[in-house]
Amino acid sequence: GYYADRWKKFLIPMSSPTKAYFDTSDQDPFCMYNYLLDITSWSKSIRRGFIKVKITDYAGNTVESEMNSEASTFQQYKRVKILTGFYQDLDKISRISLTFSTKTLIGPKYKLRILQMRLKSLTNPER
């Protein structure tokens, strides 16, 4: 790894393709595994909130994403793409679960109905 204030000095002069991870974790090995979550909502009303993703592999290992700091707006039949990160990378995913939250303590609780969902690894795009 390189210190964040000096990354250009080390990486730009290299002529070969280089991967750089700028979203790091506070846990060893300090890298995040990024995924793109592509959701098409089926809810008739507009919903605004946050999505947390939990993935489980066939061995029963489970990791949960960090919640995005920015709320997303979900409209019926509109696609929303969300960048989400995990501290651990699971190879063969057997189950994906989503939690939708408005982060409000008062007021009604809302459900988000999902018509279609795709989770794609940006670290390993072949998955």
Q: For the segment 88-97, what is each residue's pLDDT rounded down to a tens digit?
A: 888 889 999 9
Contact 12, 52 (CB under 8 A): no
pLDDT bin (cut points 50, 70, 90) of residue 60 is: very high
| Other CB atoms within 10 A of residue 4 CB | 8
CATH class assigned to 30-121: mainly beta
Question: How far is residue 68's CA from residue 72's CA, in Å, rounded to a whole number?
Answer: 9
Q: For the segment 64-97, what is each residue's pLDDT rounded down to a tens digit?
A: 987 677 888 999 999 999 888 888 888 889 999 9
Q: For the segment 110-119, what is each residue's pLDDT rounded down to a tens digit?
A: 788 999 999 9
Question: How far is residue 17's CA from residue 71's CA, in Å, rounded to a whole number?
Answer: 33
